[in-house]
Amino acid sequence: MLWAGRSAIEIARAVRHGDVKAATVVEEHLHAISERDSRVGAFRLVREQAVDEARLLQKRRDLTDLPLAGVPVAVKDNLEVAGEATRGGSAATSDAPAPEDHATVARLRAAGAVVVGLTNLPELGLVAFGDSAYGIVRNPWNPSRTAGGSSAGSAAAVAAGMVPLALGNDGMGSLRIPAACCGVLAIKPGTGLVPPPANDWERLTENGPLATTVPDLALALSVLAADPSLAEAWRGGRRVEPPPRMLRSVWADDDEVWEPQPPPASPEPFDLRVAYAPQPLPPGLPMDKEFRAAVRGAAETLRLAGHTVVEHERRLPAWLGPATIATWLVRAAEAAEGLERGRLERRTRGLARAGRVLGALKLDGVRGRERWSGYGADQWFGDADALITPALAAIPPKAERWGERGFLRNAGSNVRYAPATGAWNMCGWPAITVPLATHSSALPIGVQLIAPPGGEPHLLGLAAQLQAAHPPLRPPGFSF
C-alpha cells in the first residue's frame, strides 16, 4: 500500500495499530521527495537519517499512544532541528549545527513525527517570495509562479504530496500567503498558544502547521500547542477534551483492547455570527474580482451550514497600511543586524536600509501597532465571531530571483499581491487560510478567516465546513 499522499491521521493510526512500520512510511515519502522536488525546490536539506530515526521510533514503548506516530514532517529552515544548520534562507548565517530542537520541533517528535527535511524560504523570511541563495521554490500548480513566502518550501512540499504536514511561521502572513498560493491549509495561531521562533519579530511571528485536510491541521496544532482539546475542535468549532483511555475489556482476550468506533469524519452543525469582507483593503489597493467572488462563495457555504452571515462593508483604516509596512521594514533591519553585509542579498540590504531610516526617524509603526492591537482591531471587527476576507489580492508573481532586485521592486510586488494578512499579526489574532476555488489562471484561490483571541476552535470548525463543501485538490502532475 502506498502511504505517500495519505493523511497524517491515516498514517499515525496505521503505525499505532501495526499495519505499517514507521520506516516504511518514511522511506516512501523520501522517495516521493526524490521524484518530485526537482520540479518544486521545496527542500534545502533532505534528511536520509530519518529512516533510522523512524526505526528507533518503532521501538518506543509508548508507540500506541503517539498522535503523530510515524508521520513525516518538513520543517522550515529557520527553526532549529538538532544536528542540522539553521540557515534561514541566507548564505550569511552560521553553518554550525543546532545543539537542540526548537520547542515546536521537539513537540512534534515527542508526538511521534519524523523530520524528513528542512524547507526553503527567502533570506531571513523577509518577503512573500520563495527564492534564496539555495534556489527558487516554485508553485506546484504552475512552476512559473512563486509558491509565496516566507514559508514557501513548507507550503509547496505539502501541496506536492511530499509530506502530509509541515511546520512554518508567520510574521506578516508567511504561513497564510504561501498556503493560499499553493492551495493548502495553514493556521497562524493567536499570541501565546504555540512557542514562537527565537526571533519572533517583537511578538509578531507565530509558528504553525500546514496541511491538506482540516483534521490533520487541527491535530498538528494540538501537538504544537500541547493542548489535546484542539485535536477534535474542527468537528464543532469548540475545544473537545479527549476521552479517558479505555480500560481492558473483561470480555476480551488477554491481548485485546476494546476500542469504540471512530465518530463520523464530518463536521457537526454549530451556529456563529460570520462576517465577510470581499474588499477589506483601503482605497487605492485593488482586489482581484475572482478573489472577491470566492469570499462571497465561502460566506454562502457557511450560511447554508447554518451560520448567521452578514457583510462587513468597512475597509481597513488607511493609517494601518503604512504602520504595517514600517513595522515590517524595521523588523527587516533588526533581522539583518550582525550579519556580514557583503553576503546578504541585494533585496535584504535594501529592506534593512529602509528599516534603519524609518527607525532613525521614529517612523517605526509602534504607535500604529499599539492603536490597532489596543482597540482598533476590536472596533473594526465588530460583533462577529469570525470574518472572511481574501487571502491574496492578486495571483502569485513569477518565480524568479527576486533577491537580486532592489527594495522598490520587492516591496511593491509584495504589497500589490499580498496585503491582506499583516493586519492580524499587528494585533496577534488567529487566522487561517482555506483553499476554496480555482482561478481562471488555473491557480488555487484561498480565503482567509480571522477570529478574536482564543478563536482557533471556531476557525477550525468553519474551515472543516468549507472543506466539506469544497474538497481539496492536488496540483496537476502531483496526484498519487
The catalytic residues are 76, 150, 174
Please state the φ and ψ torsions of residue 177, each to the nearest 5 degrees.
-65, -55
CA-CA-CA-CA dihedral for 80, 157, 465, 6, to nearest 10: -100
Read off the DSSP letter of residue 398: B
Cα separation, 368 vs 371, in Å, equals: 5
Taking the CA atoms of 197, 410, 422 and 361 in sequence, report the sign of the dihedral they define: positive
Q: What Rg do the C-alpha atoms of the chain give, in angstroms?
A: 21
Query: With DSSP H G I counted as helix, E B as strand and the rest as coil, what are the percentages for the chain, rounded to 5?
Result: 40, 15, 45
Q: Helices 456-469 and 214-224: crossing angle, nearest 10°?
A: 160
Is 167:104 a contact under the CB 8 Å cutoff? yes
Q: State how far the Cα of 72 lies from the Cα of 10, in Å rounded to an integer.
A: 12
C-alpha cell at 384: 462577529
Cell match 536539506: residue? 45
- CB of 156 within 8 A of CB of 40? yes
Length in residues, the chain? 480
Cα distance from N-terminal residue to C-terminal residue, the chain: 12
Could you please report the per-residue DSSP string of 429-454? --EEEEEEEE-TTS-EEEEEEE-STT
Q: Which distant-in-sequence residues (6+ apart) come within 8 Å of 267 by Cβ?
A: 234, 235, 236, 461, 464, 465, 468
Q: DSSP string covering 81-110, please?
A: -BTSB--TT-SSS--SBBSS--HHHHHHHH
CA dihedral 322, 326, 327, 331 (to 10 degrees): 160
In DSSP notation, 212-281 reads SSHHHHHHHHHHHTT-GGGTTGGGTTS--PPPPPPPPPTTS-TT----PPPPPSSPPP---EEEE-S--S
